């Protein structure tokens, strides 16, 4: 995903993220930019995948639902209100300039 700065320079955000994913994140959580847990010296103790798997084992209700398209109920277009004895005549749309 490329972004353009106000000065017209192009920055490839995906490349920037992949180059810096193993750098320690700023803050006091002791993780890198990917989310891996870091120990002394910046060594990876637990990978992000293991942390997420452990979370879902402890919280089965938080399991993401299977991504299925939910059926959408389609409402029919409402019928125009007509007085008794009137007949519905659709209006033809004309092109601009005719």
Quick: pLDDT tens for 17-54.
899 999 998 899 999 989 999 999 989 999 999 999 99
pLDDT band at 96 (very low <50, low <70, confident <90, very high): low
Kindly state whether residue 54 falls inside one of the protein's structural domains. yes
Question: Which percentage of the chain shows pLDDT scores above 90?
Answer: 42
| In the predicted structure, residue 67 carries a pLDDT above the cut 60 | no
Question: Which percentage of the chain shows pLDDT scores above 70?
Answer: 86
Q: Any long-range contacts for 75-81 (C-beta under 8 Å, 24+ apart)?
A: none
- Nearest alpha carbon to residue 38 among 52, 27, 24: 24
pLDDT of the residue at 78: 73
pTM above 0.85, yes or no: no
The residues, any chain, with a CB within 8 Å of residue 4's CB and separated by 6 or more, are 10, 11
Containing structural domain, residue 42: 2-62
Query: Residue 41 to residues 23, 28, 38, 49: CA-CA distances in angstroms?
Result: 12, 14, 8, 21
pLDDT of the residue at 24: 92
Q: What is the mean pLDDT of the chain?
A: 83
Kindly state whether residue 38 falls inside one of the protein's structural domains. yes
Q: How many domains does the chain have?
A: 1
């Amino acid at each position: 995903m490329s972004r353009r700065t106000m000065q017209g320079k192009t920055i490839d955000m995906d490349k920037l993220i992949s180059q810096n994913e193993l750098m320690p994140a700023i803050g006091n959580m002791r993780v890198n930019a990917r989310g891996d847990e870091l120990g002394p010296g910046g060594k990876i103790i637990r990978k992000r995948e293991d942390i997420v798997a452990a979370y879902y084992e402890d919280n089965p209700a938080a399991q993401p639902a299977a991504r299925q398209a939910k059926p959408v109920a389609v409402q029919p277009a409402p019928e125009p209100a007509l007085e008794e004895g009137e007949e519905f005549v659709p209006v033809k749309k004309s092109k601009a300039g005719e």
